[in-house]
Structure 1
Amino acid sequence: MNGIPISIKTERKKMRPSVKNDLFLKACRGEATSRPPIWIMRQAGRYMPEYQALRKNTTFLNLCKTPDLAASATLLPVDMLGIDVAIIFSDILVPVEAMGLELIFSEKKGPSFPSPVRTRKDVEALCTPDPLEKTGFVAQAIKESNRRIDGRIPLIGFSGSPFTLATYMVEGEISKDFSRVKKMMFQDPDTLHLLLERATKTVIDYLKMQVDAGIHAYQLFDTWAGSLNPVHYREFALPYTKKIVEALSREGVPSLLYVNGSCALLPDMIQAGTDVISVDWRVSLPMVRNIIPEGKGIQGNLDPVSLLGTSEALKKEVHRILAEMKGRKGYIFNLGHGILPETSVSMAQYLVKLVQES
């Protein structure tokens, strides 16, 4: 029990707001459901005119840091698409900024850090932030979102996993080949491990804050761990993800893990200990069923580009995936990556309808 009284564990579970639609939570627990629950990664975003209206007079970071606005963005797909679970509107780099790195977002380049982490001295200068002091706006957004959801569906919290956060901190921006972080991995692995340890402590505290605020589950986005081969994944990504999952295991909420480009890493991802493994569109779901044991959930894996085609083509893809996962307990329908900005709201609505009427 690591010294944590049973009464505290019980109290944490009592704090979780109850929900009417619990399909997602049942699937996370590996239980049978009447149909697969569905949500969409990046389900509140640029493809929605209503989101663009929210962004019109503010910056992306300010939207993330303003609880009322963040809650409004969180609720958009709940009200417009009718999905089975909400995810708090935020960004995976929020805790990195709290560690002491200046974070800039631009419409063309996306996120960037003007002063990236390149040396041991840079790593040692990073702090382990108090989550409420530095990122309390996320907790407030969670509480406000739950108030507006009013028990209809669960709310997911999230964070980037340490390796993915480290890629941004070392590269300084989105990278195609991750050469800088891999250079550190090969030239100065001790410094990279120190960075990963500090990121891990930050993520644990950050997610515990979200649990206390009322999330029903959390997803770890180790998006760029797919750039690693299995040997390096087992050294530089998996151990830190495991530490987070183990630290949060006493909190009473399900956990999900997503890696983009995960095909070669699936057997190792299972060892992270999350309740659900989320997979991208590059991997065969029948193969995933064979690799991931019964009792552990599977999430995915529609190609986001399929929403840019015809309604008939989308229907064919959805029915194929549903057929491949038929009879599998703990299946959650989702995209294999985030929804694209070019997607029409009507196609997103049609996708949700196809799954919910299955």
Structure 2
Amino acid sequence: MTRPADALAGPLAGSAFLKAVRGEPVPHTPVWYMRQAGRSLPEYLRVREGVAMLDACADPDLVVEITLQPVRRYGVDAAIFFSDIVLPLKAVGVDLDIKPGVGPVVAEPVRTVADVERIPDLTPEHVPFITEAVRGLVGELAVTNGGTPLIGFAGAPFTVASYLVEGGPSKEHARTKAMMFGAPDVWDALMRKIAGISAAFLEVQVAAGASAVQLFDSWAGALTPADYEQYVMPHSARVLARVGQLGVPRIHFGVGTTNLLPLMAEAGADVVGVDWRTPLGHAIPLVGDRAVQGNLDPTLVFAPADVMTARAAEIVEAGRAARGHVFNLGHGVIPSTDPDQLKRLTEFVQSYPVE
């Protein structure tokens, strides 16, 4: 699968977001928000009414509309593809669903190598709706706010594996770690399988026109650095290496990963996402000569506007020490967030002096 030759040329190449992730001078600090596509927006709740999450993710028209909503409302510098980390598994035939208030639930959790082997590899033929949605989005985004890049999205192998092994969300990841430590052959087979699926899912998005990608490792913070380096990092690196061949910037983000930041950078990221628990100034030396993304505490959007913007200013100032800085929350938008407050935050960051 090849990247269109002119995909990073033209007006998007000069976008603040793509300049920042490449470490180039920017006209303003670019800003976008994880989980900006939906959750808190009334227009999102209207179009999602009566539509299950995975059904929405497989409807190209809905994906285009939902992805565009925050770009229209906030004027953010990048769009994030509306999807879910388990969608590729559903597409290849894994029996799972997203239950409201619970999260992804897998009917038959993975226990053996035979279970892994029954999971097909992902091909573009499994997800034609993704290609259609991305192409539609790229066309719309080219004329939105003067041209807005699209970020492709996939779950990292450890996080996806946790859902497959646990059968659903878990705080302790006990079964996951039991397999990792006690059945390394099954673990390795599963992680290789998921790495292949995640990489292929990102490749489909990039081939259709996405300008960058984010690999999202929600649960990696449950690991020690030594265990991450041995059991997880090689598989995330495999995903990032495959996508890197397509010439797009790669963002790597995890939650609670202060102790893993150097390894997450080493895995192949061009940009390392930093959650709100780690001061950005502390994180920047840990990731090497790379751009960073983050990292306002999502709850600060509920604070008075002057408190929120004062904290945002501190983050923008700290980001100057990095090769490049993309402003974001330190995790996703909270569903009860006031959209008007996010609009204020966006305008504040974009208008903050770059020198």
Do they superpose with TM above 0.5?
Answer: yes
Conservation of the 8 A alpha-carbon contact between 1:19 and 1:153: no
Where do 5+ consecutive residues of structure 2 fail to align?
Answer: none
Give 1:100 shift.
Answer: 2.9
How many angstroms does 1:17 deviate by? Answer: 6.9
- Partner residue, 2:93: 100
**Residue type matched to 2:213 in 1?**
Y
TM-score normalised by L of structure 1: 0.93
Q: Does 1:118 align with 2:111?
A: yes
Equivalent position of 1:341 in the other structure: 335
Displacement of 1:114: 1.7
Q: Partner letter of residue 318 of structure 1?
A: A
Report matched runs for 1:251-330 at 5 Å. Answer: 251-294=246-289, 296-326=290-320, 328-330=322-324
Alpha-carbon distance in 1 for matches of 2:36, 2:10: 22
Question: Could you report, residue by residue, the CA deviation over 1:161-217 in whole angstroms, capped at 9, with x for unpaired residues?
Answer: 111110111111111111110111121111011000111111222211111100000
Question: 2 CA distance for matches of 1:136 and 1:330?
Answer: 34
AA in 2 matched with 1:223 = S
Q: For residues 1-358 of structure 1, what are the structure 2 equivalents within 5 Å?
A: 12-16=4-8, 18-20=10-12, 22-130=15-123, 132-151=124-143, 152-294=147-289, 296-326=290-320, 328-358=322-352
TM-score, normalised to structure 2's length? Answer: 0.94
CA distance in 2, matches of 1:205, 1:69: 22
Asked if the contact 1:12/1:252 (under 8 Å) is kept, the reply is no
What CA distance in whole angstroms lies between the structure 1 residues aligned with 2:262 and 2:330?
A: 18
How many correspondences in the alignment?
348
CA distance in 1, matches of 2:11, 2:218: 29
Q: CA deviation at 1:223?
A: 1.5
Q: Which amino acid is the alignment partner of residue 286 of structure 2?
A: I
**Cα RMSD for the two superposed structures:** 1.6
Code of the residue aligned with 1:309 in structure 2: it is: A
Equivalent AA in structure 1 for residue 348 of structure 2: L
Separation of aligned partners in 1, 2:113 and 2:287: 38
Q: Secondary structure of 2:11's match?
A: coil
1:140 CA displacement: 1.0
Output the CA distance in 2 between the equivalents of 1:326 and 1:275.
Answer: 17
Please list every run of at least 4 consecutive aligned residues from structure 1 whose deviation after the TM superposition is greater than 6 angstroms: none
Decide whether the 8 Å contact of 2:302 with 2:337 is kept in 1. yes
Task: Provide the secondary structure at the position in 1 that maps to 2:215.
Answer: strand
